[in-house]
Structure 1
Amino acid sequence: MKKRLFVLTVIMLVIVGSIIGYISSKNGTINIVKILIENVERGNLKWGGLSNEQVNSIKEMFKFSDDNELNRPEIKIRKTYKNGNEEELIATFEIFQYSENNQIENIYIGHLSFKLVQKSIFKWEVVDVTTIEKMKKTL
């Protein structure tokens, strides 16, 4: 009887842990920033906490590629700081331009900083977006 209870308890803990892990990954800060960037690119803005200036700093990264007739930037997001209920992430926007013989001809890079605050156990909110470096040619 005790063995059966132990097995059921372990199974329940695994199920609950899996659910919590799934919810956490869906609402993780990197995913939140990714969704914000995608929404700004599409023009779907329902992020009431950000100013027009902050939203425009994201738009400028895509505007650069449009103005210069380049491909859409590849976006890499990484955490740079975490302290309790605050996190800072850096989004790197990269555009690679290739020559006719498929060699890298130019590289354009820009960086944005995103500050997030944890509002509840599974909810994070973007509270600030700052341009670290505007898109520019590096090669």
Structure 2
Amino acid sequence: MRAHAELAQVWPRDGRLRLVGALHGHDPVGSAAAPWTLLLVLRNVPEHVLRYPAPLDGPAFDVALPAADLAPEGVALPACWDLYFSQEPASGARERLRVGRMLDDIEGKKKIMVFPGQSVAFGDGTALVKPYYTIKDNLSVEVTPAP
């Protein structure tokens, strides 16, 4: 199994998206000098990236971000963000670990694990920000116009 950021909990509420889990298949101790960052990459525009500090406690992480950040001005809806943990050590080599949930033996999370959406301001209206598991059990966030 590839190294990844294994989710234990996903909390989409109170205008925030909180992720709790631990790095799996990667030893963060050997590279403790370089800080970790949560990256949200806009799927159809990969150069559009949101970055959030993601300090580790050993391999464990607990990071949150404002849901409204996922509906920035200038991004066309619907939009989809893919989540990664990244580290840029002094050597300049970038490492990205996909955020997902692979270790629970539950297959097909996309259809059975459904998260609530959160309404956020978008232009003159509102958008719905909703995390979901992909068919590969990775976590992504969809942003759509609110009905």
Query: RCO higher in 1 or 2 (8 Å CA, sep ≥ 6)?
Result: 2
TM-score, normalised via structure 2 length:
0.26
TM-score, normalised via structure 1 length:
0.27
Could you say which structure has the higher helix fraction? 1
Structure of greater Rg: 1
